[in-house]
Structure 1
Amino acid sequence: MINFGYTRAATIGEAIQAVAGDPQARFIAGGTNLVDLMKYGVERPGRLVDITRLPLKHMEDTPGGGLKIGALVPNSDLAYDARVERDYPLLSSAILAGASAQLRNAATTGGNLLQRTRCYYFYDAAAPCNKREPGSGCSAIGGVTRVHAILGASSSCIATHPSDMCVALAALGATVHVEGPDGARTVAFEDFHRLPGDAPEKDNTLAHGEMVTAIELPAPRFGSNHSYLKLRDRLSYAFALVSVAAAVELDGDRIAEARVALGGVAHKPWRVPEAEALLKGETPSPDAFGKAADRLLEGAVGQGENDFKIELARRAVIRALSQAAAGTPQVQSNKIVN
């Protein structure tokens, strides 16, 4: 590991100033991703600015009936919080589907949004990678592509976003609170992460020196009819080949509202509102869910080894929506698919 400077920030303003004034500086909290990247030589920050003592570890109700979650709330605390379990069970389920208990204890809510891809070639400092070294090429294209993107990819990058929590946040319509040198702003969750385009080194829309301070959830919905389905190569401690966050609101025997987001298939959580709109007014059925899945996956392209993901994703969407409509969400404690 390279040598680096270390600063422990006492205030949000101090943390922002320390990073904004140094192009090589990075924020660090739980460190569950950044420290690994430093060990592999993928990230080489000149200074780490420790934000673990900032007052961002609380959750509070919002005037609109939602919930504001501080960026430093540990993933495990968030998943098991009584309000989250009661009002946002889709989020709780998604968090519990990811990582391990030990990592969830250390990982922070804000840090979860900022995870970098688990692409094999990104982690291999000897392999050309546009995300790691812009302009060097994408080793994944034409390489081992089993875990790579089928949606929103480009000729520069076919990596996927690794988070489970973010898939649920996308489906729930969360908002990200950000502070930086130019002040505070909010970002709709769907606008926070980027597709790779010709600049895959940019994972999100944060400017240097900006930090996530909180995530805000809207007023509770989908408390009864939801499911987070994660399909992976092994049942424990593995990233998703395909994951689905599904939620519906029922009006009698008809769907009044639906939300569907995919993980493991793109550079960001994948949500298509037009696919959700197809379900409005429909009776829950495999046929209706299949039409929504087809729209959600429109334009999907495999790289050979990951061609199977297209049909896998379609079936997963139908399964997750069926679970949500029936009020029988996927159970995360035993990992067996219902």
Structure 2
Amino acid sequence: MASTTFLTMPSGKTIPQLGLGTWLSPPGIVQHAIEVAVKHGYRYIDCAFFYDNEGAIGEGLQNVFKKGLVKREDLFIVSKLWNSFHEPEDVKPALLDTLKLLQLDYLDLYLMHSPMGIKNVKGDLLPQKDGKVVMSDVDYLDTWKGMEKMVDEGLTRSIGVANFNTHQLERLLTHSRIKPDVLQAERHVYQTQSKLVPFVKEKGLVFIGYSPLTSPQTPFKPGPKNGMEDPVVKEIAKKHGKTPAQILLRFNIQSGIVTIPKSQTPEHIIENTKIFDFSLTDEEMKKLASLHYGARAVPWDLLGLGHHKHYPFCKDE
């Protein structure tokens, strides 16, 4: 039984439809999570400089390489350019820092973590003045030009964006030399992205959905309800002989998007691969989609960016 399927990006490259998320996976634990994941068929590891664990992830990657579990070319490694490195001249140093931490020569995909630039203050990823995050006026189109150069130089094979809305993505597509391969955004039964997902697909991009399990461990309170405790999810899980988590992941997979659940527990990491041997009915998909109430596990306004001129979220996005 396949442990993942693949989608084709606009560039012609393929991306695994199941990946291991690493947000909130601390050093000391994430290394083993990577080994377990790779042993059980995961080929996509989703990282970000902002997660403050890329050094540990690098150790985990080297461990699986040295053990001969996979070769570098077998894996699809993703990282993200943090908001404080949006000036075009800051893009390459930021990517080189990430590559050094991950102990890699290149990434498979590099994402702009959000369209919102903030001031670059060494050692402070959320610099504040008078209790407010110090924002930057840099245009994400200029940042994108810096990312395009990273493809030219071979430091990343593909580029994309995260947490953009439809208007921002349309503007980027209109003015870019190298088109983005993906858009990554939060996506689960309580945040179905009913406008964003179809828009991304219509443009030919791949949609990567993060927090597919509704992220019950999110540090931002109040977060979404725990989808694994939802009566509708539990009822469907019982019918299929699956766990609620597997139903939530299948909802994303069957929607034709990439899903990247985070887990530190070996049993859960393995369990999350067992979502390709069954299908949800159309009625079940509609029931799950009807659970949407606009919840976000990652409310960027709570990071102090709600008033940024490029803040991407509103009620209809």
Shorter-chain TM-score: what band? Answer: under 0.3
Greater helix share, structure number = 2
| Greater relative contact order (CA < 8 Å, ≥ 6 in sequence) | 2
Higher Rg of the two aligned structures: 1
Give the TM-score normalised by the residue count of structure 2.
0.24
Give the TM-score normalised by the residue count of structure 1.
0.23
